[in-house]
Amino acid sequence: MLKVMLTSTLITSLAAIIVPSVQANTTLFESRDVLTPQQALGRFQWLEKCYSGLLVEVSDNIFDPTTPIPNDEKIADLKKVMLYENNTLRGDAKYLTFGDEDNANPKNWFAGKLPTTSCFQIPSDYRISAVMVTPTMPNYCTTKSRERTYEFIQSVKFSNIENTSSNTFYSNYVGDTAKIYADKSYQLTLTPGFSSAEAYPETWHVFIDWNQDGDFNDTKETLFAGVSEQATQVEITPPTGAKKGMTKMRVTMDYLGGSNDACKEVDSGEVEDYLLYVK
């Protein structure tokens, strides 16, 4: 069983869970472990299944019960304050993330985020690193591909992320967060995939909500990234005034030309969404 090692700072952070207005600061390490409220619930359920004793210790540190109560009640109380408000899953749900004594993640290890995930071992030198808050993101327009039979987005590589996937109409890779600095430029590499030996020229568009207003309609938020049968690269530079924090990046690939409208369905290809953490 992993022992909960709590520094005085972390105890303060854990105690702050009961204050609804508290927001956790996202570090560069922690930003990789970005979850939706539903995934935060899944993280808690996974820990409840695999590391219930850890949750009991966390509960004891937060509530410091003066009279003994059953462990299942302790876990239920912790679950309520971290995840629910008025019996509804919170938009700013809290969850635990893990790292070594320097709050780093050298082993690239992340706790489960589904209750059905197998119970894999937390590294012996890891501890609870922080209490994270699910980012409050605007409701972006939805879109997808009409056809995915022939081509799809095989790989997106940007800053610290490299995501490889198979063909879907749309994918939301919330947990894959590219960490970038507002004063630097980064290469975005986009690779098409094909369902047969034949390759086709694919049109790429990239949309980034730099001012975090919930759309991709503002100046410099739409980028035509080229047409290619192979991997293509484009340089991304945050514009002056780009807002720091979490925002959305949308990548579209379309054999039939695509569109500079991020909300328009693509004809044949795929759409993928990612998070950017602008530092």
Work out whether the CA dihedral 169, 91, 137, 155 comes out positive or negative: negative
The span from the CA of 131 to the CA of 163, in Å, is 26
Domain ranges of the chain: 8-133, 145-278
pLDDT given for residue 101 in this prediction: 86
pLDDT given for residue 18 in this prediction: 43
pLDDT given for residue 26 in this prediction: 52
Q: Which residue intervals of the chain are DSSP H helices?
A: 8-15, 37-50, 52-63, 71-83
* Class in CATH terms, 145-278: mainly beta
Give DSSP secondary structure letters for 181-201: -TT--EEEEEEEEESSS----
Tokens of 100: 């070594």
pLDDT given for residue 110 in this prediction: 92
Region class of 17: left (phi > 0), else alpha (psi between -120 and 50), else beta: alpha
Q: Give the bridge partners for 188, in sequence order.
A: 158, 234
pLDDT given for residue 245 in this prediction: 84
263 burial class (0-12, 13-18, 19+ CB within 10 angstroms)? middle
pLDDT given for residue 103 in this prediction: 80
Work out whether the CA dihedral 73, 79, 85, 86 comes out positive or negative: negative
**For residue 160, which phi and psi values (nearest 5 degrees)?**
-90, 0
pLDDT given for residue 23 in this prediction: 39
Note the Cα 98 to chain centre separation in Å.
15
The DSSP call for residue 18 is: G
Q: Is 165 helix (H, G, I), strand (E, B) or coil?
A: coil
Contact criterion met (CB below 8 Å) for 253 and 266: yes
Contact criterion met (CB below 8 Å) for 246 and 146: no
Instruction: Using DSSP bridges, classify how beta strands 151-158 and 245-254 pair: parallel, antiparallel or unpaired.
Output: unpaired
pLDDT given for residue 15 in this prediction: 45
pLDDT given for residue 193 in this prediction: 97
pLDDT given for residue 208 in this prediction: 98
43-77 in b/e burial notation, b at 16+ Cβ within 10 A?
bbbbbbebbeebbbbbbebbbeeeeeeeeeebbee
Collect the ranges in the chain with pLDDT lower than 70. Answer: 1-31, 174-176
pLDDT given for residue 151 in this prediction: 97
pLDDT given for residue 214 in this prediction: 93
The span from the CA of 266 to the CA of 269, in Å, is 7
Instruction: Using DSSP bridges, classify how beta strands 88-89 and 84-85 pair: parallel, antiparallel or unpaired.
Output: antiparallel
Closest CA to 50 of 132, 120, 123, 131: 120
Q: Is 136 helix (H, G, I), strand (E, B) or coil?
A: coil
Contact criterion met (CB below 8 Å) for 4 and 57: yes
pLDDT given for residue 1 in this prediction: 44
232-273 pLDDT tens trace: 999 999 999 999 888 999 999 999 999 999 999 999 999 999
